[in-house]
Amino acid sequence: MKPDSNISPLAPEFFPQLPEIAGVEAAIGRAGFYKHDRPDLLVIRCAPGTRAAGVFTTNAVGSAPTDWCKQALAATRGAAGGLLVNAGCANSFTGPAGDAACKRSLEAAAEKIGAPVREMLAASTGVIGVVLDDAKIAAALPNMHLAPVRWPDAAAAIMTTDTFAKGAGATCEIDGVKVSIAGIAKGSGMIAPNMATMLAFVFTDAALSAPILKTLLRQETESSFNAITVDGDRSTNDCVLLFATGQAKVPPIPDAKDERLAAFREALSEVLRDLAIQIVRDGEGATKLVAVNVEGAVSDASAKAIARTICESPLVKTAIAGEDANWGRVVMAIGRADQPVRKEMISVRFGDLYAARDGMVSPDYDEAAMSAYMKHAELEISVTVGPGAGRARMFTCDLTKRYVEINGDYRS
Protein backbone atom coordinates (compact mmCIF):
# COMPACT_ATOMS: atom_id res chain seq x y z
CA MET A 1 0.00 0.00 0.00
CA LYS A 2 2.66 2.51 1.03
CA PRO A 3 4.73 2.72 -2.23
CA ASP A 4 1.88 4.67 -3.91
CA SER A 5 2.67 8.35 -3.25
CA ASN A 6 -1.03 9.20 -3.47
CA ILE A 7 -1.80 7.13 -0.38
CA SER A 8 -1.58 8.76 3.05
CA PRO A 9 1.80 8.18 4.71
CA LEU A 10 -0.17 7.24 7.83
CA ALA A 11 -2.11 4.46 6.09
CA PRO A 12 -2.01 0.92 7.53
CA GLU A 13 0.28 -1.48 5.73
CA PHE A 14 -2.61 -3.60 4.47
CA PHE A 15 -6.38 -4.01 4.59
CA PRO A 16 -7.18 -6.34 7.49
CA GLN A 17 -8.64 -9.81 7.15
CA LEU A 18 -12.25 -9.38 8.25
CA PRO A 19 -14.47 -12.22 9.43
CA GLU A 20 -17.30 -13.40 7.22
CA ILE A 21 -20.70 -12.33 8.52
CA ALA A 22 -23.43 -14.90 7.94
CA GLY A 23 -26.54 -13.33 6.47
CA VAL A 24 -24.80 -10.56 4.51
CA GLU A 25 -24.20 -10.42 0.75
CA ALA A 26 -22.92 -7.54 -1.39
CA ALA A 27 -22.88 -6.33 -4.98
CA ILE A 28 -20.51 -3.64 -6.23
CA GLY A 29 -20.84 -1.62 -9.41
CA ARG A 30 -20.29 1.64 -11.26
CA ALA A 31 -23.15 4.07 -11.76
CA GLY A 32 -20.89 6.73 -13.23
CA PHE A 33 -21.06 9.49 -10.63
CA TYR A 34 -17.35 10.12 -11.27
CA LYS A 35 -15.70 11.06 -14.53
CA HIS A 36 -13.01 8.44 -14.05
CA ASP A 37 -13.61 4.70 -14.05
CA ARG A 38 -14.10 3.55 -10.48
CA PRO A 39 -16.72 1.67 -8.45
CA ASP A 40 -19.21 4.04 -6.82
CA LEU A 41 -22.16 1.85 -5.89
CA LEU A 42 -22.60 -0.72 -3.12
CA VAL A 43 -25.68 -2.83 -2.44
CA ILE A 44 -25.96 -5.02 0.65
CA ARG A 45 -28.58 -7.71 1.16
CA CYS A 46 -29.30 -8.77 4.73
CA ALA A 47 -30.97 -11.98 5.83
CA PRO A 48 -34.64 -11.76 6.86
CA GLY A 49 -34.91 -10.81 10.51
CA THR A 50 -31.87 -8.52 10.47
CA ARG A 51 -32.12 -5.60 12.86
CA ALA A 52 -30.30 -2.27 12.61
CA ALA A 53 -29.64 1.00 14.40
CA GLY A 54 -28.02 4.23 13.32
CA VAL A 55 -26.31 7.37 14.57
CA PHE A 56 -26.57 10.37 12.29
CA THR A 57 -25.06 13.80 11.74
CA THR A 58 -26.36 16.69 13.83
CA ASN A 59 -25.91 19.05 10.88
CA ALA A 60 -29.18 20.98 10.64
CA VAL A 61 -29.30 20.71 6.83
CA GLY A 62 -29.21 16.91 6.71
CA SER A 63 -29.76 14.97 3.49
CA ALA A 64 -32.32 12.82 1.73
CA PRO A 65 -30.66 9.51 2.69
CA THR A 66 -30.20 10.40 6.37
CA ASP A 67 -33.81 11.58 6.57
CA TRP A 68 -34.96 8.33 4.91
CA CYS A 69 -32.94 6.17 7.31
CA LYS A 70 -34.28 7.89 10.42
CA GLN A 71 -37.85 7.46 9.23
CA ALA A 72 -37.36 3.87 8.06
CA LEU A 73 -35.70 2.70 11.26
CA ALA A 74 -38.48 4.28 13.32
CA ALA A 75 -41.30 2.91 11.13
CA THR A 76 -39.98 -0.66 11.00
CA ARG A 77 -38.60 -0.73 14.55
CA GLY A 78 -35.15 -1.44 13.18
CA ALA A 79 -35.96 -4.04 10.52
CA ALA A 80 -33.31 -3.95 7.80
CA GLY A 81 -33.48 -5.90 4.57
CA GLY A 82 -30.73 -4.09 2.70
CA LEU A 83 -28.50 -1.07 2.21
CA LEU A 84 -27.75 1.07 -0.85
CA VAL A 85 -24.66 3.31 -0.82
CA ASN A 86 -23.48 5.62 -3.58
CA ALA A 87 -20.36 7.79 -3.75
CA GLY A 88 -20.03 10.89 -5.89
CA CYS A 89 -23.33 12.60 -5.08
CA ALA A 90 -24.45 13.53 -1.55
CA ASN A 91 -28.08 14.20 -2.54
CA SER A 92 -28.13 16.83 0.21
CA PHE A 93 -29.88 20.21 0.12
CA THR A 94 -31.89 18.95 -2.85
CA GLY A 95 -35.45 19.38 -1.56
CA PRO A 96 -38.39 17.20 -2.61
CA ALA A 97 -36.60 16.21 -5.84
CA GLY A 98 -33.76 14.68 -3.81
CA ASP A 99 -36.20 12.83 -1.55
CA ALA A 100 -38.00 11.39 -4.58
CA ALA A 101 -34.72 10.33 -6.19
CA CYS A 102 -33.63 8.61 -2.99
CA LYS A 103 -36.90 6.69 -2.84
CA ARG A 104 -36.75 5.64 -6.50
CA SER A 105 -33.17 4.40 -6.13
CA LEU A 106 -34.17 2.36 -3.08
CA GLU A 107 -37.15 0.90 -4.92
CA ALA A 108 -34.82 -0.26 -7.69
CA ALA A 109 -32.34 -1.71 -5.19
CA ALA A 110 -35.10 -3.41 -3.19
CA GLU A 111 -36.37 -5.12 -6.34
CA LYS A 112 -32.82 -6.22 -7.14
CA ILE A 113 -32.27 -7.96 -3.79
CA GLY A 114 -35.83 -9.01 -3.05
CA ALA A 115 -36.31 -6.91 0.07
CA PRO A 116 -39.22 -4.68 1.09
CA VAL A 117 -38.41 -1.08 0.19
CA ARG A 118 -39.52 0.06 3.64
CA GLU A 119 -36.69 -2.06 5.10
CA MET A 120 -34.03 -0.52 2.83
CA LEU A 121 -31.50 1.94 4.21
CA ALA A 122 -29.57 4.48 2.16
CA ALA A 123 -26.33 6.43 2.35
CA SER A 124 -24.79 8.89 -0.09
CA THR A 125 -21.55 10.85 -0.13
CA GLY A 126 -20.11 13.42 -2.51
CA VAL A 127 -20.95 16.91 -3.70
CA ILE A 128 -23.71 18.77 -1.83
CA GLY A 129 -26.53 20.46 -3.73
CA VAL A 130 -26.81 18.02 -6.64
CA VAL A 131 -29.93 15.87 -7.00
CA LEU A 132 -29.12 12.17 -7.20
CA ASP A 133 -29.45 10.84 -10.75
CA ASP A 134 -31.24 7.65 -9.74
CA ALA A 135 -31.52 6.57 -13.38
CA LYS A 136 -27.78 5.84 -13.27
CA ILE A 137 -28.32 3.55 -10.30
CA ALA A 138 -31.22 1.76 -11.98
CA ALA A 139 -29.07 1.22 -15.08
CA ALA A 140 -26.14 -0.14 -13.07
CA LEU A 141 -28.04 -2.59 -10.85
CA PRO A 142 -28.71 -5.31 -13.49
CA ASN A 143 -24.95 -5.71 -14.00
CA MET A 144 -24.27 -6.12 -10.28
CA HIS A 145 -24.24 -9.60 -8.76
CA LEU A 146 -24.71 -10.51 -5.11
CA ALA A 147 -21.99 -12.62 -3.52
CA PRO A 148 -20.24 -13.06 -0.17
CA VAL A 149 -18.85 -9.69 0.82
CA ARG A 150 -15.38 -8.80 -0.45
CA TRP A 151 -14.66 -6.26 2.27
CA PRO A 152 -11.75 -4.41 0.58
CA ASP A 153 -13.82 -3.90 -2.57
CA ALA A 154 -16.88 -2.81 -0.61
CA ALA A 155 -14.80 -0.29 1.32
CA ALA A 156 -13.24 1.05 -1.89
CA ALA A 157 -16.63 1.55 -3.53
CA ILE A 158 -17.73 4.11 -0.92
CA MET A 159 -14.59 6.28 -0.93
CA THR A 160 -14.51 9.93 -2.03
CA THR A 161 -11.25 11.78 -1.30
CA ASP A 162 -10.05 8.81 0.75
CA THR A 163 -6.63 7.48 -0.22
CA PHE A 164 -7.13 3.98 1.20
CA ALA A 165 -9.99 1.62 1.98
CA LYS A 166 -10.87 1.27 5.65
CA GLY A 167 -11.97 -1.87 7.46
CA ALA A 168 -11.88 -3.45 10.91
CA GLY A 169 -13.18 -6.64 12.46
CA ALA A 170 -13.29 -8.68 15.64
CA THR A 171 -14.68 -11.89 17.13
CA CYS A 172 -15.92 -12.57 20.63
CA GLU A 173 -18.47 -14.64 22.52
CA ILE A 174 -21.92 -13.90 23.86
CA ASP A 175 -22.95 -16.44 26.50
CA GLY A 176 -20.59 -19.01 25.00
CA VAL A 177 -21.64 -18.45 21.38
CA LYS A 178 -19.00 -17.13 18.97
CA VAL A 179 -20.05 -13.98 17.14
CA SER A 180 -18.23 -11.89 14.54
CA ILE A 181 -18.12 -8.17 13.76
CA ALA A 182 -16.93 -6.57 10.51
CA GLY A 183 -17.06 -2.94 9.50
CA ILE A 184 -16.04 -0.57 6.74
CA ALA A 185 -15.88 3.22 6.68
CA LYS A 186 -15.04 6.17 4.50
CA GLY A 187 -13.84 9.61 5.48
CA SER A 188 -10.94 11.97 4.93
CA GLY A 189 -12.06 15.60 5.17
CA MET A 190 -14.95 17.57 6.69
CA ILE A 191 -14.43 15.51 9.81
CA ALA A 192 -15.57 16.57 13.29
CA PRO A 193 -17.68 15.20 16.15
CA ASN A 194 -21.46 14.87 15.83
CA MET A 195 -20.53 13.70 13.12
CA ALA A 196 -18.29 14.14 10.05
CA THR A 197 -18.03 13.52 6.29
CA MET A 198 -17.89 9.86 7.06
CA LEU A 199 -19.95 6.79 6.52
CA ALA A 200 -19.52 3.59 8.50
CA PHE A 201 -21.35 0.29 8.17
CA VAL A 202 -20.80 -2.39 10.79
CA PHE A 203 -22.24 -5.90 10.65
CA THR A 204 -22.49 -8.68 13.21
CA ASP A 205 -24.06 -12.12 13.08
CA ALA A 206 -25.25 -11.78 16.68
CA ALA A 207 -28.97 -11.93 17.42
CA LEU A 208 -29.60 -8.57 19.09
CA SER A 209 -32.66 -6.34 19.13
CA ALA A 210 -32.76 -2.90 17.57
CA PRO A 211 -33.03 -1.15 20.97
CA ILE A 212 -29.90 -2.92 22.21
CA LEU A 213 -28.04 -2.08 19.01
CA LYS A 214 -29.11 1.56 19.32
CA THR A 215 -27.94 1.83 22.93
CA LEU A 216 -24.59 0.18 22.27
CA LEU A 217 -23.96 2.21 19.12
CA ARG A 218 -24.76 5.55 20.72
CA GLN A 219 -22.55 4.82 23.71
CA GLU A 220 -19.57 3.52 21.75
CA THR A 221 -19.75 6.25 19.11
CA GLU A 222 -18.83 8.83 21.75
CA SER A 223 -15.33 7.42 22.20
CA SER A 224 -14.82 6.65 18.50
CA PHE A 225 -16.42 8.66 15.69
CA ASN A 226 -17.33 11.52 18.03
CA ALA A 227 -13.77 11.66 19.35
CA ILE A 228 -12.04 12.49 16.06
CA THR A 229 -11.63 15.70 14.10
CA VAL A 230 -9.69 16.62 10.99
CA ASP A 231 -10.85 20.15 10.25
CA GLY A 232 -13.75 20.99 12.55
CA ASP A 233 -16.47 20.69 9.90
CA ARG A 234 -19.25 18.13 10.04
CA SER A 235 -21.11 17.21 6.90
CA THR A 236 -24.76 16.72 6.00
CA ASN A 237 -24.76 13.00 5.22
CA ASP A 238 -22.81 11.29 7.96
CA CYS A 239 -24.01 8.14 9.60
CA VAL A 240 -22.95 4.96 11.33
CA LEU A 241 -25.24 1.98 10.78
CA LEU A 242 -24.98 -1.21 12.84
CA PHE A 243 -26.66 -4.37 11.53
CA ALA A 244 -27.27 -7.64 13.39
CA THR A 245 -28.26 -10.56 11.15
CA GLY A 246 -29.13 -12.97 13.97
CA GLN A 247 -27.44 -15.91 12.25
CA ALA A 248 -25.38 -16.70 15.34
CA LYS A 249 -27.92 -18.21 17.70
CA VAL A 250 -27.23 -16.13 20.76
CA PRO A 251 -29.50 -16.79 23.75
CA PRO A 252 -32.03 -13.98 24.27
CA ILE A 253 -30.51 -10.79 25.68
CA PRO A 254 -33.10 -8.56 27.40
CA ASP A 255 -31.25 -5.24 27.41
CA ALA A 256 -27.92 -3.52 26.73
CA LYS A 257 -26.89 -3.70 30.41
CA ASP A 258 -26.80 -7.50 30.37
CA GLU A 259 -23.39 -8.67 31.63
CA ARG A 260 -23.25 -11.27 28.86
CA LEU A 261 -22.70 -8.40 26.40
CA ALA A 262 -19.44 -7.25 28.03
CA ALA A 263 -17.14 -8.95 25.52
CA PHE A 264 -19.32 -7.90 22.59
CA ARG A 265 -19.36 -4.30 23.77
CA GLU A 266 -15.57 -4.33 24.03
CA ALA A 267 -15.20 -5.87 20.56
CA LEU A 268 -17.64 -3.38 19.02
CA SER A 269 -15.81 -0.51 20.70
CA GLU A 270 -12.53 -1.80 19.28
CA VAL A 271 -13.92 -1.97 15.75
CA LEU A 272 -15.47 1.50 15.90
CA ARG A 273 -12.31 3.11 17.33
CA ASP A 274 -10.15 1.38 14.74
CA LEU A 275 -12.31 2.69 11.89
CA ALA A 276 -12.43 6.18 13.40
CA ILE A 277 -8.66 6.43 13.78
CA GLN A 278 -8.18 5.19 10.22
CA ILE A 279 -10.24 8.18 9.09
CA VAL A 280 -7.85 10.52 10.91
CA ARG A 281 -4.90 8.66 9.40
CA ASP A 282 -6.43 9.52 6.04
CA GLY A 283 -7.11 13.15 6.94
CA GLU A 284 -6.77 15.23 3.79
CA GLY A 285 -3.09 16.08 3.40
CA ALA A 286 -2.19 14.60 6.78
CA THR A 287 1.37 13.63 7.68
CA LYS A 288 0.92 13.33 11.47
CA LEU A 289 -1.54 11.40 13.62
CA VAL A 290 -2.04 13.22 16.92
CA ALA A 291 -3.68 12.03 20.14
CA VAL A 292 -4.69 14.84 22.51
CA ASN A 293 -5.28 13.94 26.16
CA VAL A 294 -6.87 16.30 28.66
CA GLU A 295 -7.15 15.66 32.41
CA GLY A 296 -7.95 17.67 35.50
CA ALA A 297 -11.09 19.25 34.01
CA VAL A 298 -14.28 19.90 35.95
CA SER A 299 -16.09 17.20 33.91
CA ASP A 300 -15.53 14.83 31.02
CA ALA A 301 -17.61 17.12 28.80
CA SER A 302 -15.41 20.09 29.71
CA ALA A 303 -12.28 18.04 29.04
CA LYS A 304 -13.63 17.04 25.64
CA ALA A 305 -14.38 20.67 24.76
CA ILE A 306 -10.80 21.60 25.60
CA ALA A 307 -9.39 18.64 23.68
CA ARG A 308 -11.48 19.53 20.64
CA THR A 309 -10.34 23.15 20.74
CA ILE A 310 -6.71 22.03 20.76
CA CYS A 311 -7.34 19.51 17.99
CA GLU A 312 -9.09 22.03 15.73
CA SER A 313 -6.80 25.02 16.25
CA PRO A 314 -5.26 25.90 12.86
CA LEU A 315 -2.25 27.32 14.68
CA VAL A 316 -1.68 24.12 16.65
CA LYS A 317 -2.21 21.96 13.57
CA THR A 318 0.14 23.97 11.34
CA ALA A 319 2.81 23.94 14.05
CA ILE A 320 2.55 20.15 14.12
CA ALA A 321 2.85 20.07 10.33
CA GLY A 322 6.02 22.13 10.66
CA GLU A 323 7.32 19.78 13.38
CA ASP A 324 7.40 22.69 15.80
CA ALA A 325 6.55 21.97 19.45
CA ASN A 326 4.99 25.40 19.83
CA TRP A 327 3.45 24.73 23.23
CA GLY A 328 2.31 28.34 23.55
CA ARG A 329 -0.31 27.62 20.89
CA VAL A 330 -1.57 24.70 22.95
CA VAL A 331 -1.86 26.96 26.01
CA MET A 332 -3.73 29.49 23.87
CA ALA A 333 -6.18 26.81 22.74
CA ILE A 334 -6.76 25.68 26.33
CA GLY A 335 -7.62 29.23 27.33
CA ARG A 336 -9.97 29.94 24.44
CA ALA A 337 -12.00 26.77 24.96
CA ASP A 338 -14.13 28.83 27.39
CA GLN A 339 -13.99 26.10 30.02
CA PRO A 340 -13.07 26.37 33.72
CA VAL A 341 -9.31 25.87 34.14
CA ARG A 342 -6.73 26.64 36.85
CA LYS A 343 -4.03 28.63 35.11
CA GLU A 344 -1.46 27.94 37.83
CA MET A 345 -1.98 24.18 37.37
CA ILE A 346 -1.74 23.98 33.58
CA SER A 347 0.89 21.62 32.21
CA VAL A 348 1.65 20.64 28.61
CA ARG A 349 3.52 17.51 27.60
CA PHE A 350 4.63 16.25 24.18
CA GLY A 351 5.09 12.53 24.59
CA ASP A 352 7.06 12.22 27.85
CA LEU A 353 8.61 15.66 27.47
CA TYR A 354 7.23 18.53 29.54
CA ALA A 355 6.99 21.91 27.85
CA ALA A 356 5.07 23.57 30.68
CA ARG A 357 4.43 22.78 34.33
CA ASP A 358 2.40 24.55 36.98
CA GLY A 359 1.37 27.42 34.76
CA MET A 360 4.78 28.28 33.32
CA VAL A 361 7.57 26.91 31.15
CA SER A 362 8.98 23.68 32.51
CA PRO A 363 12.37 24.06 34.26
CA ASP A 364 13.64 21.02 32.33
CA TYR A 365 12.34 22.14 28.93
CA ASP A 366 14.64 20.78 26.20
CA GLU A 367 14.15 22.35 22.76
CA ALA A 368 16.39 19.83 21.00
CA ALA A 369 14.55 16.86 22.49
CA MET A 370 11.22 18.43 21.59
CA SER A 371 12.28 18.99 17.99
CA ALA A 372 13.41 15.39 17.70
CA TYR A 373 10.09 14.14 19.09
CA MET A 374 8.04 16.23 16.67
CA LYS A 375 9.57 14.38 13.71
CA HIS A 376 7.61 11.24 14.64
CA ALA A 377 4.61 10.37 12.49
CA GLU A 378 2.46 9.66 15.55
CA LEU A 379 2.38 12.15 18.41
CA GLU A 380 0.77 12.56 21.85
CA ILE A 381 -0.05 15.92 23.40
CA SER A 382 -1.19 15.72 27.02
CA VAL A 383 -2.40 18.62 29.13
CA THR A 384 -3.53 19.06 32.72
CA VAL A 385 -5.91 21.95 33.34
CA GLY A 386 -6.81 21.68 37.01
CA PRO A 387 -7.54 19.36 39.95
CA GLY A 388 -10.78 17.89 38.59
CA ALA A 389 -11.62 14.32 37.60
CA GLY A 390 -12.74 15.16 34.05
CA ARG A 391 -10.72 13.66 31.25
CA ALA A 392 -10.94 13.13 27.49
CA ARG A 393 -8.96 11.72 24.59
CA MET A 394 -9.38 12.83 20.99
CA PHE A 395 -7.54 12.23 17.73
CA THR A 396 -6.63 14.69 15.02
CA CYS A 397 -4.01 15.28 12.34
CA ASP A 398 -1.84 18.14 11.13
CA LEU A 399 -2.91 20.82 8.64
CA THR A 400 -0.76 21.00 5.52
CA LYS A 401 -0.72 22.80 2.17
CA ARG A 402 -2.06 19.61 0.64
CA TYR A 403 -5.35 20.04 2.54
CA VAL A 404 -5.87 23.39 0.82
CA GLU A 405 -5.03 21.89 -2.57
CA ILE A 406 -7.45 18.97 -2.15
CA ASN A 407 -10.34 21.17 -1.12
CA GLY A 408 -9.56 23.95 -3.56
CA ASP A 409 -9.69 21.45 -6.42
CA TYR A 410 -12.55 19.29 -5.06
CA ARG A 411 -15.21 20.16 -7.65
CA SER A 412 -12.85 20.87 -10.52
What CATH number is attached to the domain comprising 324?
A: 3.10.20.340
- CA separation for the pair 135, 60 (Å, rounded): 28
Instruction: Please check whether residue 28 lies inside any domain of the structure.
Output: yes
Together in a domain, 357 and 395: yes
Evaluate whether residue 4 is within a structural domain.
Answer: no
Whether 231 and 323 share a structural domain: no
Domain boundary among 281, 316, 347: 281
Q: Please tell me the predicted confidence (pLDDT) of residue 235.
A: 65
3-state SS of the chain is: CCCCCCCCCCCCCCCCCCCCCCCEEEEEECCCCCCCCCCCEEEEEECCCCEEEEEECCCCCCCHHHHHHHHHHHHHCCECCEEEEEEEECCCCCHHHHHHHHHHHHHHHHHHHCCCHHHEEEEEEEECCCCCCHHHHHHHHHHCCCEECCHHHHHHHCCCCCCCCEEEEEEEEECCEEEEEEEEEEECCCCCCCCCCEEEEEEECCCCCHHHHHHHHHHHHHCCHHHECCCCCCCCCCEEEEEECCCCCCCCCCCCCCHHHHHHHHHHHHHHHHHHHHHHHCCCCCCCEEEEEEEEECCHHHHHHHHHHHHHCHHHHHHHHCCCCCHHHHHHHHHHCCCCCCHHHCEEEECCEEEEECCEECCCCCHHHHHHHCCCCEEEEEEECCCCCEEEEEEEECCCHHHHHHHHCCCC
* In-domain check, residue 175: yes
In a domain, 248, yes or no: yes
Residues 6+ apart with CB under 8 A from 58: 194, 195, 234
Assess whether 179 and 259 both reside in one domain: yes
Asked if 97 and 114 sit in the same domain, the reply is yes
| 266 shares a domain with 377 | no
**CA–CA separation, 22 vs 7, rounded Å?**
32
- Same domain, yes or no: 147 and 30: yes
Domain boundary residue, one of 232, 259, 281: 281
Q: Which of 229, 249, 281 is the last residue of a domain?
A: 281
Task: Flag whether 102 is in a domain.
Answer: yes
Q: Based on the fold, state whether residues 152 and 254 are members of the same structural domain.
A: yes
Q: Assess if residue 1 is contained within a domain.
A: no
Q: Is the pTM of this model over 0.85?
A: yes
48: domain CATH number is: 3.60.70.12
Q: Which residues of the chain have pLDDT under 50?
A: 1-3, 196
* Whether residue 135 is found in the same domain as residue 220: yes
Domain count, the chain: 2
pLDDT at 193 (0 to 100): 62
- Indicate if 30 and 133 belong to the same structural domain: yes
Residue 37: give the domain boundaries. Answer: 24-281
For residue 9, being part of any structural domain is answered with no
Same domain membership, residue 165 and residue 33: yes
Q: What is the mean pLDDT of the chain?
A: 93
296 and 192 together in one domain = no
Tell me what pLDDT residue 233 has. 66
Please check whether residues 248 and 310 belong to one and the same domain.
Answer: no
Active site residues: 197
Domain assignment present for 16 = no
